[in-house]
Amino acid sequence: MSASNGGVRSEDEKNFFNSVQLPFPEVIDGKINTLQFLESSKGVVGLVEKFGKVFAPVKYDMTGNIEKLTEQYNTNKEKHLYLNNMILAEKEEGGNYAIDALLWLRRALQFIYTFFSCVLEDSQQGKKSEDLVPFLKKAYKETLEAYHGWMTQKLFGLLARMCPSRSELMITLALGRENHDEAVLREMAIFLTGLDSNIQVLIQLYLENGLESNSKV
């Protein structure tokens, strides 16, 4: 099924975004469904896995935080139906387990969002740059760098050199097929819109409740 419509896709139309990745949940009354969000985030981990070592630290971090949030969700599924409720309940109890996990998961998702937004914008401008390293570095600088210590920043700088080319990325997202760029980019745009709506809600939630942290790892 596609995120953009309810029709059945032919094999030739399928790509990562419309047949593997679950769309992020629709924000309803400012709230995000916890289980849907976590399932969608797992899909992003699957996407990150496809690019090997360059995203390995992000994948490891995301996986750990998804597990923590799932564990918290399972303690009271009814009470934790929405991420907002789960986080605010923990704040009232004086805890920080899920709060910290969601903060870092959101930052990782912002990193992924920024990277793919750069790829999409570059393609829409007709440039189709093969070297994606500048996009990767831009995404890192805008989302994760400020919260990483010197060693982690240096490690990322080394790993960034292993970033796949644009052609390699497009073939991966087209599930191994060539010359499907337009369809991939179209579905990527839809995916990014849904992801951004979730990110913005979480940013607002943390700002309004004083949950942001500038501590480094």
Find all residues with CB under 8 Å of 20, minimum gap 6, and list them.
43, 46, 47, 175
- Count Cβ atoms below 10 Å from residue 189 Cβ, excluding itself: 16
- Number of domains into which the chain is organized: 1
Residue 213 resides in a domain: no
Residue 94 in any domain: the answer is yes
Residue 146 in domain: yes
| 3: pLDDT strictly greater than 70 | no
Domain membership flag for residue 3: no
Tell me what pLDDT residue 143 has: 96
For residue 20, tell me if it sits in a domain. Answer: no
Tens digits of residue pLDDT in 106-132:
999 999 999 999 999 999 999 999 999
Angle at which helices 56-75 and 83-93 pack, to 10 degrees?
Answer: 80
The residue range of the domain holding 50 is 29-208
Looking at the domain assignment, is residue 46 inside a domain?
yes
Given a cut of 70, whether residue 36 has pLDDT beyond it is yes
pLDDT of residue 57 exceeding 90, the answer is no
Q: What is the pLDDT of residue 39?
A: 97
Residue 166 lies in a domain: yes
| Residue 84 domain flag | yes
CATH number at residue 50: 1.10.3520.10
